[in-house]
Amino acid sequence: MGEIACDYGKSVTCDEGMVVAYSSPQDFLLAAKTGVMQMTLRKLITLMTFSIALAIGGAVYAQYDEAPPPAEPEQTDVSDQELQQFAEAQTEISSIQQDFSARLQGVDDPEEAHELQVEANEKMTDAVEDAGLDVESFNRIAMAVQNDPELQEQLTDMIQ
């Protein structure tokens, strides 16, 4: 109970045990307005903000002690120049994410929130390209950093 999935065409289980399927954004908004869905717009905006961050491919730097190391992680060669470009892009992306997260908090209109998300996505893509990388290279480097503690340390030194 209380499980909420915001993707269109998916089911939502409300606290009352009712399962509702939304097939379009209009159905979703209608349900939200009529009280069928128990999710505030702020929670939705926060969820969408984090989704954007993940879609861009923000690097995850933390290593988990519980997870066994991969058998043979694929070694990706990342030059010092590429790592520096990645650091510049990542720093700018973090700034953009903070800015747009704050801006989204004050928005009550779902359409305006979507427009802000699209704008944030474009700015983050521009930040990657302005740093001299394409999105594919940025994501490749992010994966390499995630899997290589030495690269993580180098990146941390560059960002500080």
CA–CA gap between residue 64 and residue 143 (Å, rounded): 15
Give the residue extent of every domain in the chain. Answer: 1-39, 40-159
Q: What is the DSSP string of 68-112?
A: PPPSSPPP----HHHHHHHHHHHHHHHHHHHHHHHHHHT---HHH
pLDDT for the residue numbered 53: 55
The predicted pLDDT at position 77 comes to 86
Asked if residues 18 and 36 have their Cβ atoms less than 8 Å apart, the reply is yes
Query: Tens-of-pLDDT digits for all 160 residues of the chain?
Result: 444 444 444 444 444 444 444 455 555 555 545 443 444 445 545 555 555 555 555 444 444 445 555 544 556 789 999 999 999 999 999 999 999 988 888 888 999 999 999 999 999 999 999 999 999 999 999 999 999 999 999 999 988 8
Global pTM?
Answer: 0.53
> Can you read off the two tokens belonging to residue 76?
């990706």
CA nearest to 134, candidates 144, 124, 143: 124
Residue 31: per-residue pLDDT: 52
User: What token pair was written down for 116?
Assistant: 């802000």
Distances in Å between the Cα of 149 and the Cα atoms of 21, 139, 158 are: 44, 17, 14
C-alpha angle 151-155-159 in degrees, rounded to nearest 5: 175
Instruction: Give residue 8's pLDDT.
Output: 46
